[in-house]
Chains A and B, each alone.
Chain A
Amino acid sequence: MSGDFLYPDYEIIRDFSRCTVCHDCERQCANGCHSYNEKLGRMVADNAKCVVCHRCVSMCPVSALKIVKTDHTFKQNANWTGDVIGDIYRQAGSGGVLLSSMGNPQKYPIYWDKILINASQVTNPSIDPLREPMETKLFLGGRPDRVEYDEKGQLKDNLPVHLSTQVPVLFSAMSYGSISRNAHEALAKAAAALGTYYNTGEGGLHEDFYQYADNTIVQVASGRFGVHKRYLDAGAAIEIKMGQGAKPGIGGHLPGSKITEDVSRTRMIPEGTDAISPAPHHDIYSIEDLRQLVYSLKEATSYKKPIIVKIAAVHNVAAIASGIARSGADIIAIDGFRGGTGAAPSRIRDNVGIPIELALAAVDERLRQEGIRNNVSIIAGGSIRSSADIVKAIALGADAVYIATAALLALGCHLCRACQLGRCNWGIATQRPDLTARLDPDAGARRLVNLVTAWNHEIKEMMGGMGINSIEALRGNRLMLRGIGLTEKELSILGIKHAGE
């Protein structure tokens, strides 16, 4: 029905005075936006195919291209907006569930931006991080309640195995299949160089990447793809994925078209078959079942690996985290509702879950009230955008943070939110060899190292300003934070005072 026609949201603008008809844009665009029109004797663009990934803009040798939001509009309506109308047309036409990717782009409060960080003046000194020692090394893992002594009265090392990282940043789970081999390689190399960890996601561990095993967290999800004894033994830690911030309560489904020969080998499923990982682990329907899975992994790896349990930030997150802390898990990873994904039903992405800031504050506070915060470590994720976000997260109570969207941006992602199409022009969220070749893993690793190193410098600067010289002294140090423009309720959940108090 022609009434369903939707004018493209964005327009490709070409400056014909600059265009040399070199066809680079045509070659760069896997979506087929650009073509040469013989009759007109010039390059033309199909705006309807454009996903706004800026590949053509970035690669145009003469800067002849730009992309602008269209001024075409429906009649203005604050309730029935153009987006709402467009979605209805699409669903009425197809009968399909709306699908998109990456994190929640809707206008919800971003609490990081309403929290301010303290600095010392006069009464206690700030520290110059360039001159004095400034520690960001930390350990992640479980801790027993009490110290123990041996027969000689010497302290016994009764700590379970810990992860040790030089920076309070780990790369969070993205599976091979959802992102490319080169993207994984860049993450693995960067993690090794930085002395931190990357996470396989639920797609198994590629044979070539066992060399980075000491910096690898292996994931076990409901589909158990690529999970076997050697895989479990390889990782520095094992993460049980219970949920994901972008789509709490929803599973994943990697279509057969993305299961190429190499992906198939890593996931250990035949080429071209679908990889379905439903929301629940069908053997975990209650908290004591989680304990069973945690201990089955500990038994299978002789108690040599810390176990991380990753959950999405949902309403009841504090009680859930408390249950996890008592399940034998060593580390709890909490993923807020702005976390990214390679594909999610839009309504879930945009309406389910809660912000990481509130979830983190609630979990940390609950575990302290119960006296068990020291028994587990907390990793917070779900849209950590800068070093300032990290400082705030740690002061709220996190041990460390997970980043993924920021890491992909470092690798060239332009957040066009079209990963689900599998035609990523930046070679990240695709398995097409011609596209993945665009991402150089070494260059990618360098950029990741740059980003995290720069952030770590900034973290040290901020810590120094507060007079803190070890990241451990920042953890849960909520007096270092003040809210701005927040309600009493929000301040009480975050457990911070308002600026000026």
Chain B
Amino acid sequence: MKLSGKNLSFQELNEAVRDTTDEHIELCDILGHRYIGAGSSGRDIVIEGVPGNALGAYLSGSSLTVKGNAQDAVGDTMNDGRIIISGSCGDTAGYAMRGGKIYIGGNAGYRVGIHMKEYGAHSPIIVIGGRAGAFLGEYQAGGTIVVLGLGGSGCPIGGYCGTGMHGGRMFIRGTVLPGTLSDQVLVEEPDRHSRLLLKEILSDYCRYFPEVSANSLLKDHFFLLTPNTKNPFKQLYTAC
């Protein structure tokens, strides 16, 4: 199905998407339409324009491709599927996502990957081609976040990264980290096992972004960020 978003409200647009039996859906003239693909599975939706907030919320297996930028709350609580954004995205992408992949060509906003978690066979992945804003991976409980910082110099992530982190991992390309990195985060050089994981993720990412070469990226320096088990996130309590 091919559908233009011009003169359609988000409700009308999403209803049409839900109602069609077509697997492949092309949406054009999209401008701020919210909740595209929310909760869906088995769809392959290609979006031209700027989709509105909460693109692919609770996504359950569909594939969403955005030719351009996306706004806030991409893939909120997504469980499975794939969101590919050729441009940049706004704040809080991948909030509490439990599975699937979000690949962003450009930059991502603040609070990306908050509450990201993994369970069983599900381990979510977010790859950000450019830079990520502050509070990346707050309360991260599982999954993998990769920030490449392509086309820029210096530290590709904002401050207060990984506050409350208690699971999962982040790979940050480059040689500098912010001064305000949370104490709950352990910074290491990736070992062989994690380099293999990184290679696997980057090879897959580069399938959608052929202008990026996984092999040449892998020659660069990456920091591996994991929860610091010696300084876990907890409040000290006293019973009364």
Instruction: Please list the residues of chain A having a beta carbon within 8 angstroms of any beta carbon in chain B.
Output: 86-87, 90-91, 93-100, 220, 222-224, 227-229, 232, 253, 255, 264, 268-270, 273-274, 276, 278, 282-283, 292-293, 295-297, 299-302, 345-346, 418, 420-421
Contacts and interface: CB of A to CB of B under 8 A. Distances in A.
Given A227-B58, A269-B117, A299 B35 contact: yes
Contact of A90 (B35, B53, B238): B238
A123 to B, nearest CB: 52
Q: Is the interface of B mostly helix, strand, loop or mixed?
A: loop
Contact of B39 (A273, A300, A345, A346): A300
Contacts of B164: 276, 278
Contacts of B18: 302
Contact of B238 (A98, A223, A264): A98
Contacts of A297: 58
Given A99-B239, A292-B53, A223 B38 contact: no
B92 A270 contact: no
Q: Which 7 interchain pairs have the tightest Cβ spacing?
A: A300-B39, A96-B238, A224-B96, A299-B35, A99-B237, A229-B60, A268-B119
A222 B53 contact: no
Nearest to B99: A228
B41 A346 contact: no
B167 interface: yes
A296 B79 contact: no
Nearest to A271: B119
A228 B238 contact: no
A94 B114 contact: no
Contacts of B232: 274
What DSSP secondary structure best describes chain A's contact surface?
mixed
Contact of A283 (B73, B119, B234): B73
B115 A295 contact: no
B238 A299 contact: no
Contacts of A94: 236, 238
A118 to B, nearest CB: 42
A270 B58 contact: no
A164 B107 CA distance: 47
Contacts of A302: 18
B130 to A, nearest CB: 21
A168 to B, nearest CB: 32
Contacts of A99: 237-240
Given A97-B238, A418-B239, 6 more contacts: A96-B235, A96-B237, A270-B119, A300-B57, A300-B58, A421-B239
B240 A86 contact: yes
B115 A282 contact: yes
B39 A269 contact: no
A281 B117 CA distance: 15
A282 B138 contact: yes
With a 10 A CB-CB cut-off, give which of B18, B34, B96, B141 has the most chain A CB atoms: B96
A98 B237 CA distance: 6
Interface string B136-162: 001101100000000000000000000
Contacts of A270: 118-119, 142, 167
A304 to B, nearest CB: 11
Contacts of B139: 223, 276, 278
A296 B77 CA distance: 11
Nearest to B236: A96
A302 B16 CA distance: 12
Contact of B58 (A93, A296, A420): A296
A228 B117 CA distance: 13
Contacts of A97: 235-238
B98 interface: yes
B76 A283 contact: yes
Given A224-B77, A253-B234, A418-B239, A299 B38 contact: yes
B95 interface: yes
A97 B235 CA distance: 7
Contacts of A268: 98, 117, 119-120, 122
Given A227-B96, A282-B92, A299-B14, A98 B57 contact: no
8 contacts: A95-B236, A97-B236, A253-B235, A293-B54, A296-B35, A299-B57, A300-B35, A302-B18
A228 B79 contact: yes
B233 interface: yes
Contacts of A420: 237, 239
B173 interface: no
Given A87-B240, A90-B238, A292 B73 contact: yes
Nearest to B239: A99
A228 B58 contact: yes
B115 A223 contact: yes
Nearest to B41: A229
A228 B166 contact: no
A345 B234 CA distance: 13
Contact of B95 (A93, A224, A295, A346): A224
Nearest to B117: A269
A100 B111 CA distance: 31
B58 A229 contact: yes
Interface in B188-238: 232-238
Q: Which of A91, A222, A276 has the most CB of B within 10 A?
A: A276
**Interface-central residue, A86, A220, A293, by most chain B CB under 10 Å:** A293
B44 interface: no
